Structure 1
Amino acid sequence: MHEQDQTVAGGTLESPETAADNVYAAIDLGTNNCRMLIARPQRGGGERGFSQPEQFRVVDSYSRITRLGEGLAGSGLLSRSAMDRTVEALKRCVDKMQRRGVTHARNVATEACRRAANCDHFLERVRAEVGLELEIISADEEARLALAGCSALLEEDRPRALVFDIGGGSTELLWVRLCDKGIDQVEGFASLPLGVVTVSEDCGGGDLTRRLYEAVAEHVANLLGPFEAAHDIGAAIARGEVQMLGTSGTVTTLGGIALDLPRYNRFKVDGLRLDFKTVFEISHKLSLMSHASRAAIPCIGRQRADLVLAGCAILEAICTVWPVGSLRIADRGVREGLLLELMDRDRSRAEGETA
């Protein structure tokens, strides 16, 4: 797959021999969020899924809800206000990259940019106003990077995994066979054109009635049918071979609510296991609340109160079609996958030059 490795203002591209001094950044620009991690390589660990001998230590991060895909489902275009918000967020990312002396970066955009007819105009604005090159990646590469970033949370006692990512504009599914040394084989992939933003907008807003909520869940379940038929996941579940791993704002939000956190805490949620009974109970409770009541929940807040129900409906469909019984939550994904691949590439280069 094509990788875009670039210098940024304030940083110099260093040779592989100085890899220990390198600072890496990854930006994941989605339909709803702009997220960035800045990290340094760190040796040791040996977590499952990190085939690289180098893991990383995060030195800075950034996350902002920009709603780049707001209105996209109806118009097919990125709105001026959405682009303005996103450009400002990307400026903050570049400021942090400069201050941290980033030497290597890969900056990707996903579903909103894949779908927007005026995406070229947006990319030019980012290039001119921010000084940043964004790379639009395909849905399958997005899913592959998410798996690379979160596969350390997969457990070796079950040979199969259903991994999903409920995004703002789409939902990705991966059917994975666990192999030796943490190198997993993807045996099936699907991308549904439904995410928390698109579903919410299609339904006229976030305050879904219970009837409409159930209709969305049923519709998503029907869309999952061909993936089930192609891979016979239900039979593997019946044999006790399947684990489920979810990476998205929906599952992390439910994790925070399940723990009754007064403020969202990534370190408490990442890796948490939720049984389906808890998932259904929280989702049902949220679907009966008013917008204001959901916004008052610390792990939801005002900016996500109109989106969380759509995510819960998609999640409920996934859990209903594939009754694994529990899922593990990953507060990691594309950004981590990008960082690991950048670091691994430089390590391989350095080893090749010293061999």
Structure 2
Amino acid sequence: MRLGVLDIGSNTGHLLVVDAHGGAAPLPAYSYKQPLRLAEHLDESGAVTQTGIDLLTEFTAEALLVAEDKGCEEMLSFATSAVRDAVNSEEVLDHVLARTGEHIAVLSGEDEARLTFLAVRRWFGWSSGRLAVFDIGGGSLEIAGGTDERPDVAWSLPLGAARLARFFADRPDEAAIRRLRKEIRAEIARDAGHLLRAGTPHRAAATSKTFRSLGRICGAAPSADGQLVPRTLPLGALREWIPKLVAMSPEELAELPGVSANRTHQIVPGALVAEACMDIFDLSELEICPWALREGVILERLDSFSVTD
């Protein structure tokens, strides 16, 4: 069947059209996305601004038309941390429903981590043994680990690259870098024992645009080489790059491989979060997984078909 997956993230609204059936990998058929930057369309009270609401509503209406044109039989629509954490989340989603007729579900941070873990487990398979997964989104960082398809531990932290970028100057001084670095590491370390007490993972993986961009900067193969090419983000290379990234202007950052112009302000905060994850969990590198939350949502839906059948 053909499914439409509408992912309202903190950075981007993304409709992924896939051809899917049980026992097969979801096959992308079409992709439609727009930069919404909802994590940056928040007022001082933590509410999504009217501008953000209008952008989301307009994108949802457009995505529904695209899905209809592409022959989608079903829509799976969900929102993550920017909407989840907004003080007016119900008002935002009620507005979208009234204007478009589409109900967008809000995923909890734990569910976001769990579904991403499922996607990574299916991608790498059972031979990965004890698996640890890290996902830096726009609004939050998800961490999960375990030996099965459902993680033993899964949690979410307010350490998304876009969220942190709101409080971070384009050319931060050494004191600002150190202060942010300290805050990030304290937040991650607070619950690190959830994952560490099970022992060193046999495989550690990362998903998301931020990790992919950092991997590309550190020498990973370009996306044009295809999904099946192994890609890693080595801690040593990332540490060498962070001072260079801090010193670069937004224009210079935009010229780096894998970095889009509308995300240049997120690269340094994202790099500090990635470095902290590897350092605190004693990982020399992370393997970049091309599957993430959207694929996890699709796979869970396909699993529900098989149970029903």
Provide the TM-score with structure 2 as the length reference: 0.90
Higher RCO, 1 vs 2 (CA within 8 Å, ≥6 residues apart): 1
What does residue 31 of structure 1 align with? 10
What does residue 134 of structure 2 align with? 164
Q: What is the rounded CA distance, in whole Å, between the counterparts of 1:266 and 1:93 in structure 2?
A: 28
What does residue 213 of structure 2 align with? 253
Q: What is the rounded CA distance, in whole Å, between the counterparts of 2:245 and 2:43 in structure 1?
A: 25
Q: What is the rounded CA distance, in whole Å, between the counterparts of 1:217 and 1:97 in structure 2?
A: 42
Note if contact 2:41-2:51 (Cα within 8 Å) is conserved in structure 1. no
Q: Secondary structure at the match of 2:102?
A: coil
Cα shift at 1:158 = 5.2
Q: Give CA-to-partner distance per residue, 1:123-171, whole Å, 9 cap, x none.
A: 1221233331101121111111111222234365553222111111111
Cα shift at 1:188 = 1.7
Q: Secondary structure at the match of 1:75?
A: coil
Identify the match of residue 294 of structure 1 among 253, 256, 263: 253
Q: What is the rounded CA distance, in whole Å, between the counterparts of 2:214 and 2:5 in structure 1?
A: 26
AA of the residue aligned to 1:219: E
CA spacing shift, 1:243–1:34, aligned 2, 3 Å? same
Describe how 1:238-277 pairs up with structure 2 within 5 A: 241-259=201-219, 265=224, 267=226, 271-277=230-236
Identify the match of residue 184 of structure 1 among 149, 163, 171: 149
Q: What is the rounded CA distance, in whole Å, between the counterparts of 2:195 and 2:257 in structure 1?
A: 39
Q: Secondary structure at the match of 2:26?
A: strand
Q: Give CA-to-partner distance per residue, 1:74-113, whole Å, 9 cap, x none.
A: 3311012222222232233212210111112210111111
Cα shift at 1:271 = 4.5
What does residue 62 of structure 1 align with? 32
Q: What is the rounded CA distance, in whole Å, between the counterparts of 2:163 and 2:186 in structure 1?
A: 17
Matched-pair identity in %: 23
Provide the TM-score with structure 1 as the length reference: 0.79
AA of the residue aligned to 2:262: Q
CA spacing shift, 1:33–1:199, aligned 2, 3 Å? same
Q: Where do 5+ consecutive residues of structure 1 fail to align?
A: 1-21, 43-51, 178-182, 351-355
Whether 1:213 aligns to 2:177 is: yes
Q: Secondary structure at the match of 1:323?
A: coil
Note if contact 1:255-1:269 (Cα within 8 Å) is conserved in structure 2. no
Q: What is the rounded CA distance, in whole Å, between the counterparts of 1:269 and 1:86 in structure 2?
A: 33
Q: What is the rounded CA distance, in whole Å, between the counterparts of 1:269 and 1:166 in structure 2?
A: 21
Q: What is the rounded CA distance, in whole Å, between the counterparts of 2:225 and 2:100 in structure 1?
A: 29
How many residues end up aligned between the 2 structures? 309
CA spacing shift, 1:100–1:25, aligned 2, 3 Å? same
What does residue 186 of structure 2 align with? 222
Q: Secondary structure at the match of 1:274?
A: strand
AA of the residue aligned to 1:164: F
Q: What is the rounded CA distance, in whole Å, between the counterparts of 1:29 and 1:175 in structure 2?
A: 25
Q: What is the rounded CA distance, in whole Å, between the counterparts of 2:230 and 2:82 in structure 1?
A: 28
Identify the match of residue 273 of structure 2 among 304, 314, 338: 314
Point out 4+ residue stretches in structure 1 off by more than 6 angstroms.
none
Note if contact 2:116-2:293 (Cα within 8 Å) is conserved in structure 1. yes
